[in-house]
Amino acid sequence: MNRRAIVAANWKMNGNSALVDTMVSGLHNISLSDNVDVVICPSFVYLSELAHKLKENSLENTIALGAQNVSDKASGAFTGEVSTDMLQECSVKFVIVGHSERRELYKETSTQVAHKVATVLNAGLTPILCIGESESERATEQTEVVLSSQLQPVIDEIGIEKFKDVVIAYEPVWAIGTGKTASKEMAQETHQFIRQFLAQCDAEIANKVPLLYGGSVNASNCEALFAQADIDGGLIGGASLKVDEFSVICSAA
């Protein structure tokens, strides 16, 4: 099965106008294979600036824009929230939903995450749905139970057919920002589980869903991870803030 590969940069609450400039100039001559999509998800504040700079450098068809979060409401009295309409006005195409930091620090539940996935799809945008287990859940062999409990509410909310427009990022929480990457074997085994879980509902759809690995991906480990049969790219945090390293990761996909 030939799925498109995706490398998505999650800048989190990092970066500034200078990084927008450095990244756009640094990625100017990036060599990408034809079936790779590169997505950059800066803070909301820099979306328009990044969109503008990509266009100025004729990179708008090479690098897509993503947001790190979105409201599940359309508009109204929701101070501090950002809607899908607003994201579309900033040329956003992808939205990270349910990142473990949102689940842990802002107490987003899998039900809320499922509503957000539906909202993003209804707006014609592509959700990057993040799922992953904690260190203690891995240690107590709860990984599959946890991943199933994060996926099932989304399947219940949107139906399996709509997964053809969803990207899933498997991000073991213990590997995020820690320098501890899942081994390629462990990552592949877990990705295979995720695909099989979706295949119980619809094998054809399950085969089409891009599954990204996230968790301390860097220039040295990306090639081995991306070579795995069920790993279709990565969601990159820390290493996406360094233009040289991010370029190597994009080229490896």
Q: Is 10 annotated as a binding residue?
A: yes
In the list 127, 210, 214, 233, the residue contacting ligand PEP (rule: CB under 6 A) is: 214
Please report the sign of the dihedral spanned by the C-alpha atoms of residue 29, residue 35, residue 40, residue 44.
Answer: positive
Instruction: Supply 91's token pair.
Output: 């040329």
Strands (E), 61-124: 63-67, 92-97
In the bound state with ligand PEP, the residue whose beta carbon lies nearer, of 123 and 173, is 173
Catalytic: 28?
no
Distance CA 162, CA 220 (A): 35
99 is catalytic: yes
Binding residue (CB under 6 A) for ligand PEP from 215, 221, 231, 252: 215
179 is in an annotated binding site: no
Give the count of residues interacting with ligand PEP (CB under 6 A).
Answer: 13
| Nearer to ligand PEP (CB atom), residue 32 or residue 219 | 219
| Least Cβ distance, residue 235 to ligand PEP (angstroms) | 5
Binding mask 4-43 for ligand PEP (x = CB under 6 A): ------x---------------------------------
Pairs from 44-47 (Cβ < 8 Å, separation ≥ 24): 44/68, 44/82, 46/15, 46/16, 46/17, 46/20, 47/87, 47/90, 47/91, 47/92
Q: Which residues would be at the binding site for ligand PEP (CB under 6 A)?
A: 10, 171, 176-177, 214-217, 235-239
